[in-house]
């Protein structure tokens, strides 16, 4: 994955183009569909000595604020660091993809899960398997869509057989999820399950004791609830999860009456 140049410079050009495509894809994934003029011009700058092709970009209409662009850039840089991480060597060797996170960089609400499973490892996207489908329904139950929230995990690589993350693995990934949250600065973080709650709040208390209470993390208000995978195995936990989601909606000013 090196962009180092060979004597004729070809790999460097290929790497540069690949990085540009990845960056634009990342911007599009983040809901940024146009760039401010200066940034757009930088992105279009042709390689030295090459003919400039006709611009294939959309007209710049309502550019996102500089702060929004900063967040996208910071997340893009961090995503690249995560993709190259080999700190947990066995996890890095076994992974198909790192799973960075998904959602708008200015999301008010983040959902923090444990670690990717098989479906997430295969796709590179968080919460796309059965637990993910249930999470989507939970999000929609509080009148939100997945596109409006940011979803991330404590671990960015799949642990073997989906086992619980080890303390060393959480420590290795802490810098990543903490920086993601610092960049996004959500008003609310909802921890899904024991691993996420204990990792974020740096506590050993079980989820049953942590849920139903409010905490703070930086400038974010934090609520914890059961993990959707636990809910799949224990449907009786639906009621407390619904209570936690109602508490979240109430603090976030989301009116759940009607519809």
Q: How far is the CB of 102 from ligand URA (least distance, A)?
A: 10
Nearest in space to 229 (alpha carbons), one of 159, 130, 140, 160: 130
Phi/psi at 188 (nearest 5 deg)? -135, 140
Nearest in space to 33 (alpha carbons), one of 104, 108, 111: 104
Residue among 75 and 131 whose Cβ is closer to ligand URA: 131
Sign of CA dihedral 204, 205, 208, 210: negative
Q: Does 103 help bind ligand URA (rule: CB under 6 A)? A: no
Nearest in space to 82 (alpha carbons), one of 59, 115, 52, 109: 115
Q: How far is the CB of 235 from ligand URA (least distance, A)?
A: 18
Q: Residue from 101, 132, 159, 165 that binds ligand URA (CB under 6 A)?
A: 132
Residue 117, CA distances (Å) to 90, 131, 197 in order? 15, 10, 18
Q: Residue from 27, 78, 110, 115 that binds ligand URA (CB under 6 A)?
A: 115
Query: 45 by DSSP, 3-state: which?
Result: coil
Query: With contacts defined by CB under 6 A, how many residues of the chain interact with ligand URA?
Result: 13
Q: How far is the CB of 148 from ligand URA (least distance, A)?
A: 18
Residue among 98 and 153 whose Cβ is closer to ligand URA: 153
Q: Residue from 120, 121, 169, 244 that binds ligand URA (CB under 6 A)?
A: 120
Position closest to ligand URA via CB: 113
Nearest in space to 192 (alpha carbons), one of 117, 84, 91: 117
Residue among 35 and 197 whose Cβ is closer to ligand URA: 197
The residues binding ligand URA (CB under 6 A) are 113-117, 120, 126-127, 129, 131-132, 153, 229
């Amino acid at each position: 994955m090196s962009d180092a140049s060979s004597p004729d410079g070809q790999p460097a050009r290929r790497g540069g183009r690949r990085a540009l495509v990845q960056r634009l894809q990342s911007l599009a994934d983040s809901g940024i569909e146009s760039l401010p003029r200066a940034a757009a011009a930088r992105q279009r700058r042709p390689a030295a000595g090459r003919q400039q092709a006709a611009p294939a970009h959309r007209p710049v209409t309502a550019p996102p604020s500089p702060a929004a662009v900063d967040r996208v850039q910071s997340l893009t840089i961090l995503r690249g660091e995560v993709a190259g991480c080999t700190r947990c060597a066995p996890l890095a060797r076994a992974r198909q993809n790192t799973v960075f996170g998904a959602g708008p960089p200015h999301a008010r609400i983040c959902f923090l899960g444990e670690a990717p499973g098989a479906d997430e490892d295969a796709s590179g996207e968080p919460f796309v398997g059965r637990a993910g489908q249930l999470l989507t329904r939970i999000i929609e139950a509080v009148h939100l869509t997945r596109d409006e929230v940011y979803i991330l995990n404590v671990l960015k690589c799949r642990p073997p057989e989906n086992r619980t993350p080890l303390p060393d693995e959480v420590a290795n990934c802490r810098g990543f999820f903490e920086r993601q949250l610092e960049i996004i600065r959500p008003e609310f973080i909802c921890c899904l399950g024991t691993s996420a709650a204990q990792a974020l709040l740096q506590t050993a208390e079980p989820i049953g004791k942590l849920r139903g209470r409010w905490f703070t993390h930086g400038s974010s208000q934090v609520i914890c609830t059961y993990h959707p995978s636990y809910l799949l195995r224990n449907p009786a936990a639906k009621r407390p999860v619904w209570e936690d989601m109602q508490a979240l909606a109430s603090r976030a000013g989301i009116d759940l009456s009607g519809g």
